[in-house]
Amino acid sequence: MVNWILGDLFTKDFGHHGSTKTLWETRWKFPCSLGVYPFHDSQKHLEDFEPAFQKLIEDKINGPYDDAWTHPFLPTATSLVSQADALASTDKPAAISLYKRANAVFRIARFPYVNGSPLKLDVYERQKKAYLKGAALWDVPLREEVIEHVHKAEGDGGEIPLYVRFPKAEEGKKTPVLLLITGLDGHRPDNSERTDEFLARGWATVICDIPGVADCPALKTDPTSPDRLFTSILDWIAAQPSLDASKVIAWGLSAGGYYAIRLAHTHASKLVGAVGHGAGTHHYIGAEWLAQIDKHEYPFSLKKPYLMKYGYDTWEDLLETCQKRFSLVETGILEMKSCRLLLVNGVLDGCMPVEDSMLLAEYGRPKEMRFVKGRAHMGYPEANSIVFPWLEEVMGE
């Protein structure tokens, strides 16, 4: 049994699971009123969300895993897109803002796991369409790039959809690259602010989804499929004449942090650094941790998303074999040589235990770590102020 740093919080029930009213009033609306936006900066527009949540509360819809959750958000999202379309040719700043607001509402409508519902898949397509309309209006646009999965194996899809945003090229100069690896519920359209930060530093952005989630073509049941996926992506980056393949950093967010850490070991020679941000590596899919996971800060039960992401039919099967098959400890990945690697999280993370980052100190080359006292999953709001100086340092070496 692990002596969890969470202490008594490990078994404490946060009280919002199974109650949309409690979730909205204590976990989402209240933080937004204080200027802390749990999922997306555009959620500062509380009026975009209030009607849907009131409808869910009235109808006693207390979970997101059927279509009744999704429907109340769609009128607002659709209206915002229509308003943005009408202004796109006459008032670009207003249209951009409206598209971002629609993107945020679509995100909550399809939250937290797209692949389990035809309706949520459709909503995700609508989200991407609205987002790319707005992103095309930016001074430096973001676009979708669908590349060939050159290294695919049986069971993998043949194409990898990426979002890319490149600074305006300076003649004779190649651009460093941030490979942003998304999470379980945050996908390619959910990272505008990070791409702005990268652009301000003169870096290109390449964004990809993780296996078992959204549009990722990697076979989710194969623990080695991400290695093939990232070989194809890194080969594509190296083939772009404007990109500097000798200056690539991978930044994995939440569930994506696992893949950034894995990539730091399996593709160490292809990266100058990697960030595992709010990352799981071993304990997060162990039976002891998962027995308490639905009590913690995540808004909903993680059982259904985990079953679908990893391709299991029953929770019992997942508890028995998932850690053995996917743990970076059990599979020996952490025994490999790594590139420079930063681990960042909140000390009180109840989604991905901080122990999963700390255990990397026991393997291979020395790691860099910064954990935020008193903060939960991802270590917000302080986390980005830790990551960006580190990125600048590594890119400048």
What are the catalytic residues? 254, 349, 377
Q: Which residue has the tokens 């990722």?
A: 216
> 5 vs 37, 307, 316, 356, 385, CA distance in Å?
26, 26, 26, 11, 24
The C-alpha atoms of residue 339 and residue 366 are separated, in whole angstroms, by 10
| 24 DSSP 8-state letter | I
d(CA 73, CA 99): 15
Burial code of 92-113, b = ≥16 C-beta within 10 A, e = fewer? eeebbbbbbbbbbbbbbbbbbb
Would you call 36 helix, strand, or coil by DSSP? coil
Give the list of residues 6+ apart from residue 307 with CB closer than 8 angstroms, or none.
313, 314, 315, 318
**Residues 248, 271: Cα–Cα separation, whole Å:** 5
Residue 111 contacts residue 38 (beta carbons within 8 Å):
no
* Residue whose pair of structure tokens reads 């093939």 in the numeric block: 228
For every residue of 185-232, DSSP letters joined together read S--GGG-HHHHHHHHHTT-EEEEEPPTTSTT--S-TT-TTHHHHHHHH
Q: Which residue in the block uniquely carries the two structure tokens 């909503």?
A: 123
